[in-house]
Structure 1
Amino acid sequence: MAVQAAEKDGINVEDDHLNDSLRNPGLISPDKEISRLLTVPFSGRIRGGMRPGKKIIVMGIVELEPESFDVSLTCGRDSEKDDTLHDVALKLTARFNDRQFMRSARIAGKWTAEEASTDYFPFIPDQPFRIEIHCEHQRFRIFVDGHQLFDFYHKVKSFTSIDTVQIQGDLQITKLG
């Protein structure tokens, strides 16, 4: 059964990125609650863009020997030809070699300085995790496995223009909402 596109918790998932936990591409259970492994790198639309009160949840498993992974909220899909076309409202980067969880943004083609994380590094190779990105009026509030780690004050002021979530690196995505 081929599926053109699926929508899960406000994020549109293209059919070429959709797999269920049994590796059957494009299958959707009637209740749409099946956990899916999404292909990395992943790009999906956020229906209606971000707004205060909205949150993005990324659940996954870190690979066995990871170097890094990124979760980004962007203003439009990145083009393969020119990666500098779209603003990045928030880029979260987990770096395993120095055990840092960094955040930054790209505005008008220029990256802001990376902000260092707290001393706590929440990710463990070959273990599951849950990242929650809460959008508030002044900032994004970032939680990992239920613990608030840090805030990131908005650089992109038009919330509705933040309409894409992109994920890449050394992880498997098990759920996105």
Structure 2
Amino acid sequence: MRKQRVHYLEGPEVQEFEIDDLPERWQTEEDSSPEVPTADGYPDASYPMSPVPLDSAYGYPTPGFQLNYQSPPRRHNEKKHSSNIYNPAMPFSATIPGGVVPGRTLSIEGVAGHQKFSVQLTDAFQVDIGLFFSPIITWGADSGTVVMNIRCSGSWGREEREKDAFPFKASEEFIIEITILEDRYKIVVNDKHTYEFLYRLHPLDRFQTLVAEGDLKLNHVQFL
């Protein structure tokens, strides 16, 4: 029987070979393909980071050391992740499933205490902070103030303060929704009061941990 010949396009050249050779050829190409690091089914979840020299006194990176993050590629068809956490212990810390990308919203429901608390988006080491959002209920001259800031390599940035229409009250419930936009964080409290904070640290997707601490009780955290 006459063997059928096929044409195979590889780069700019067209190669000709017997059709019976296809299974062997495909296996050879598959065996030679580079491996993609994976974790939990996501090819971008285990990219390496550089070693971090630690300050022996506090366990934080040595002052002036800049973490060398490698930003993983994101798939355009990656699905959003949604998960719920109820009544967590304080202080609270959780990795954001699916990462921080534009279009996502993080919802934090709880009860404010009588002093102050903070909600933060941090790196995996909780050293650098991409968003520090701190309502101050009662704390001297700062009472009734929302403070927003960042921290990079152990150094705090310039504070942004808001005093108008302070939406938090001691012993009362609140809902904070943080939406990731293209150039800023949008923080909405109780569906009516809005704060905005422009991104100062990049890449954005390295801030993969949500932290809440201080004088508050958490009821429900949701990643949308």
- Asked if Structure 1 and Structure 2 have the same fold, meaning a TM-score greater than 0.5 normalized by the shorter chain, the answer is yes
Aligned-partner Cα distance in 2 for 1:122–1:159: 28
In structure 1, how many angstroms separate the alpha carbons of the residues matched to 2:187 and 2:162?
A: 11
- Higher RCO (CA-CA < 8 Å; seq separation 6+): 1
SS at match of 2:132: strand
Q: Deviations over 1:41-61 (max 9, x none)?
A: 011001232110011110001
- What is the distance in 2 between the residues matched to 1:161 and 1:10? 20
Which residue matches 1:174?
219
Which one of the candidate residues 207, 210, 213 is aligned to 1:165?
Answer: 210
1:100 to 125, 145, 167: 145
Secondary structure at 1:160 match in 2: helix
State the distance in 1 between where 2:116 and 2:170 align. Answer: 11
Instruction: Describe the SS at the equivalent of 1:169.
Output: strand
Aligned-residue CA RMSD (Å): 1.7
How far does residue 133 in structure 1 lie from its aligned partner after superposition?
A: 0.5
Q: Pick from 190, 197, 200 the counterpart of residue 152 of structure 1.
A: 197
Measured against aligned partners, the alpha-carbon deviations of 1:3-43 in whole angstroms (never above 9, x if no partner) come to: xxxxx9347x6xxxxxxxxxxxxxxxxxxxxxx21111011
Distance 1:75 1:38 in 2: 20
Distance (whole Å) between structure 2 residues aligned to residue 72 and residue 149 of structure 1? 17
Deviations 1:106-149 (A, max 9, x none): 12322111101141111111111000011111000110001242
Per-residue displacement from partner, 1:65-122 (whole Å, max 9, x unpaired)? x1100000001143xxxxxxx2100001111121001100012322111101141111
Equivalent residue of 2:101, what SS?
coil
Structure label with greater radius of gyration: 2
Query: Percentage identity across aligned positions?
Result: 26
Return the letter of the residue paired with 2:98: G
2:92 maps to what in 1?
42
Moved over 3 A (4+): none
Q: 1:87 maps to which residue?
A: 128
TM-score by length of 1: 0.73
Structure 2 equivalent of residue 51 of structure 1: 101
1:71 aligns with 2:119: yes
Equivalents in 2 of 1:102, 1:69: separation in Å?
10
Give 2:82's aligned residue. Answer: 9
Structure 1 gap segments, 5+ residues each: 1-7, 14-35, 79-85
Structure 2 stretches of 5 or more lacking a match? 1-80
Contact 1:102–1:116, Cα closer than 8 Å, also in 2: yes
TM-score, normalised relative to structure 2: 0.58
**Residue type of the partner of 1:60?**
G
